[in-house]
Structure 1
Amino acid sequence: MAGAASAAGHGSKLNLLNFAEQKIKMLHLTWFAFFLTFVIWFAHAPLLVHIKEALALTDAQIRALLILNVALTIPARIVVGILVDKYGPRIMYSVLLFISALLCIGFAFANTYDALALFRFLLGFVGAGFVVGIRLVGEWFPHHQVGTAEGIYGGWGNFGSAAAAMTLPTIALMFGGENGWRYAIASVGVVSAIYSLIFYKFARNTPKGSTYFKPKKTGAMVVTSWGALWTLILMNIPMHLALGMLAWRLSPAGVELFSQTAMYGIWIALVALFIFQTQQTWKVNAEHLREGVPEHDKYSFKQVGILNIAYFATFGSELAVVSMLPLYFLETFEGMSAVKAGLLASAFAFMNLVSRPMGGWFSDKFGRRKSMVILIGGLAAGYFLMGLMDSHWWIPLAVLAVMACSFFVQAGEGAVFAIVPLIKRSMTGQIAGMAGAYGNVGAVVYLTVLSYVDYSTFFYVIAASALVGLVAVMFLDDPKGHIVEVAEDGTVHKINVG
């Protein structure tokens, strides 16, 4: 029997210090690659004051940079998901880290706002790195450990944004001078370029003797029923709408990065892209659906759709809340300094180190569906509680409420990706890519809502959308028995998933 289940060991506990075990080496190698992508992705955030001063930027231009930073991530996660299933995570992570390093250095030494904006837009690509590691970790760990391993990968990697905030201002000061911020950001690019070579040398797609399964067709996600095909086409729509929303926020209606005519041009391009994507999806799937899909080859696309909705509410809300929380604390609690507000708000992101692994472990230990129901329910209650917060609250209690909510949010993310590798091994990258993209769609939707409502209503809206997610996850199926993959030589392999 091939696959990670047969070669990754049978112990239920993970000893993260046991470097003699190959899968533990792979986990550390992979989470650090993800960590670096997040440092690159958010390297600009703690240095925005210096960037603004150096290039004499307006507040609107700074806001445009923040929007541009996430714009490319939605399509990039879909494309990288397809490529990682086809070429394998070892090559894809190495290439992604190297290209991102060049873009990071380009951003560091940009001398005009146009160049700065272009590099920031292109750097949204680095946010797709997450998808690559999900496939790699899924290959190396058996079903009873995969949730915990994916949680460690996601949680420790996500911490890269907090690490950037904590270290880069100091590194900029160490370099000194008016270009200190440039050298600090460029140094991250240099580290990423070096690590891309290290990753290529030491990473392996699968344990020795295991087969790396690839999809039979590429260009779009392969589904195994007509209902799934129509659902897939429908689920592509919100991603294009989110990109359209971003274009609107960059137009004169928002931060005025480009004209209304340019916005209409982007909208027309997005409609054309959707039509092309739909044609590709039909072309990839129609023939084998007409012929009939063998029973052993079928998988439930319902699982994918439900996880997309769950990640919309979990990661989508995390991205949105992390970006507004410092300002929320500053404006809600009178007399609070900007430094203290930033420090208290960082508690939300800091929880990632523990929460995501806990969500994955919880899923491994107590069941996939049950874990998702509890965690999404807790998330809804947490955001409802945050909606009740006001200036009369005792600050330590407010921080406690934020951290409790944060635990459920990030543990929910860990539980989502505890299931992703157990649906269809050969398409784990694409499934992870779509779920990941839905997380970004969630962030765009929530931040758009925030631009129209007060803070309390914003939290209530997230809580209400999480209740929709709660209803959806009640229809999840616990992965059981085996999933079947057919190798290129035609041999049938069973992979244990529960």
Structure 2
Amino acid sequence: MSDVDKLALSPYRWVVLVVAMLAAFIGSYAQFQLPPLAYKLIPAMHISSSQFAALMGGPMTGSIFICLLGGILADRYGVKNVVTVGLVLEVIGCTFRFATMSFWPFFFLTVLCGIASALLTSNLAKLFGAWFPMEQLGTIIGIYMISPSLAMFTGTATTALFPSMASAFITSGVICLVILVAWVALAKNKPDGAPDMPVMPATKYLGVAVKSSGVWLASFAILLAWAAIMTFNDFLPNALHAVRGISPVEAGIIGSLVTLGGAFGSWLGPVICNRVGTMKPFLIVCSLLAAAGLMWAWQMPVGAPIIIGLMLTGFFMNATGGPILSLPMLLPEIGPVYAGSAGGIIATMMVLGAVLVPTFIITPLAGTNMIMMFGLAALSFALSVIPVLFLKELGRKALEAKARQGGEGISD
């Protein structure tokens, strides 16, 4: 075991994981406070349904502009400092939504609610790679990704219990402030005694990351996957109601099963990938099964078949995220020095896929035809296999073989 691996076994690594999960929780929680309040917000702010949809996408819209910058700055100044700034902005965004009832100020504050989550997503491989052994990195990122899923559920399930919108928003601000204090007090960039990373101009970090073919292959794979995921999640409840004739309440409950299955996929997917030992075959199989689920699961008979089908679809869709987001630390040309910038590129492409592809490609082509809509989403997920085919094999078995060979290169 290398010195880095020994340092990564510090028990404090679990504290770092917990505070990172807390930092990831609040952004999604604040975002998913909005759906239960739609019936109040839309008339109060005099906005259209499309404008409300823009509010829901506000945190992700902000991520487009912050992910890459966050990765570069984290390489230069450390993950803790960068995420701290993001959490300060999130406290402002979460809390002061209560003070405005017009679209653009509310939209701006909603964008701030997702800043810290975007900065963390850019730097997951860099942060966790400093604390955990490389072969566990995908699993740890998968565990981390459970937090946003739980936040979505909690925000949706509890917000209607508050006596007013103001009390709901102020509460999210208070929670965010507590998380900020916990992050500042407990988060660390690396174990005590670990070597400091070299300090270089920001352009140097980005320049190395941009030249990595592995970074771009991972970026296009996750872009295509998230285009499919967001299309399916956004339109599934409506499709179940409009096409399958399921009541709106039941359609919402059934549609939420995809998120529940996704939480298990985020957690268990990387565990299975590590147990199998080969990353590329795992990603390919999960992507193809996810594509099949996108196409057919929602059309299954109501009852046990559709419940199982949608949960499995969510599982396979989310099982690929942890391994792909762990790649910056695993790519030999990137590693811990450039992982922030590389992660920023991958996270930016992920958000672009989630926002732009459904908006400007899939929905214009499909219109109101839900069979075509989900067929195009399935095609997008299936196409994500193509860049995966050209990635280097960086699973557990390949890493162990590299260690046995004394650090020699990993073959394709």
TM over 0.5: yes
Counterpart position of 2:290: 379
Contact 2:83/2:116, CA 8 A, preserved across alignment: no
Q: Secondary structure at the match of 1:351?
A: helix
Query: In the alignment, is residue 48 of structure 1 matched against residue 32 of structure 2?
Result: no
Please give the root-mean-square deviation of Cα atoms over the aligned residues, in Å: 2.8
Matches within 5 A, 1:167-316: 167-170=158-161, 172=162, 176=163, 180-214=164-198, 216-219=200-203, 221-223=205-207, 301-316=212-227
Counterpart position of 1:65: 55
Query: In the alignment, is residue 403 of structure 1 matched against residue 311 of structure 2?
Result: yes
Question: How many matched pairs?
Answer: 394
Q: Distance in 2 between matches of 1:221 and 1:89?
A: 14
| AA aligned opposite 1:317 | A
Counterpart position of 2:252: 342
Counterpart position of 2:358: 446
Q: Distance in 1 between matches of 2:381 and 2:181?
A: 41
Counterpart position of 1:24: 14
Structure 1 residue ranges without an equivalent (≥5) = 10-19, 233-300, 483-493
Change (3 A) 1:217 1:3: farther
Q: Distance in 2 between matches of 1:417 and 1:58?
A: 36
Contact 1:369/1:478, CA 8 A, preserved across alignment: yes
Taking structure 2 as the reference length, the TM-score comes to 0.86
Change (3 A) 1:209 1:496: farther
Structure 2 residue ranges without an equivalent (≥5) = 401-406
Taking structure 1 as the reference length, the TM-score comes to 0.72
Q: Secondary structure at the match of 1:210?
A: coil
Deviation at 1:157, TM superposition (A): 3.3
Q: Secondary structure at the match of 2:33?
A: coil
Counterpart position of 2:263: 353
Q: Distance in 2 between matches of 1:362 and 1:138?
A: 19
Counterpart position of 1:362: 272
In proportion to residue count, which structure has more helix?
2
Q: Distance in 1 between matches of 2:52 and 2:171?
A: 22
Matches within 5 A, 1:405-444: 405-423=313-331, 424=334, 425-444=336-355
Change (3 A) 1:30 1:4: farther
Q: Distance in 1 between matches of 2:293 and 2:322?
A: 17
Change (3 A) 1:46 1:85: farther
Contact 1:2/1:495, CA 8 A, preserved across alignment: no
Deviation at 1:169, TM superposition (A): 1.6
Contact 1:215/1:427, CA 8 A, preserved across alignment: no
**Post-superposition CA distance 1:206-239 (Å, at most 9, x none):** 1121124256330475445xxx85xx6xxxxxxx
Q: Secondary structure at the match of 1:364?
A: helix
| AA aligned opposite 2:247 | S
Change (3 A) 1:114 1:37: closer
Q: Distance in 1 between matches of 2:278 and 2:410?
A: 12
Query: In the alignment, is residue 137 of structure 1 matched against residue 128 of structure 2?
Result: yes
| AA aligned opposite 2:133 | P
Change (3 A) 1:82 1:2: farther
Q: Distance in 2 between matches of 1:85 and 1:162?
A: 33
**Post-superposition CA distance 1:14-63 (Å, at most 9, x none):** xxxxxx92112221121121112221233323322221233333334323
Counterpart position of 1:488: none
Change (3 A) 1:96 1:340: same
Q: Rg: which structure is higher? A: 1
Counterpart position of 1:326: 237
| AA aligned opposite 2:134 | H
Deviation at 1:458, TM superposition (A): 1.6
| AA aligned opposite 1:196 | L
Counterpart position of 2:7: 7
Q: Distance in 2 between matches of 1:40 and 1:97?
A: 13
Matches within 5 A, 1:112-123: 112-123=102-113
Contact 1:74/1:437, CA 8 A, preserved across alignment: yes
Select between 91-100 and 54-63 the one with higher mean Cα deviation.
Answer: 54-63
Query: In the alignment, is residue 96 of structure 1 matched against residue 86 of structure 2?
Result: yes
Deviation at 1:409, TM superposition (A): 0.7
| AA aligned opposite 1:7 | L
**Post-superposition CA distance 1:422-449 (Å, at most 9, x none):** 1221122222222122222122212432
Counterpart position of 2:404: none
Contact 1:379/1:405, CA 8 A, preserved across alignment: yes
Deviation at 1:194, TM superposition (A): 2.0
Percent identity between matched residues is 19
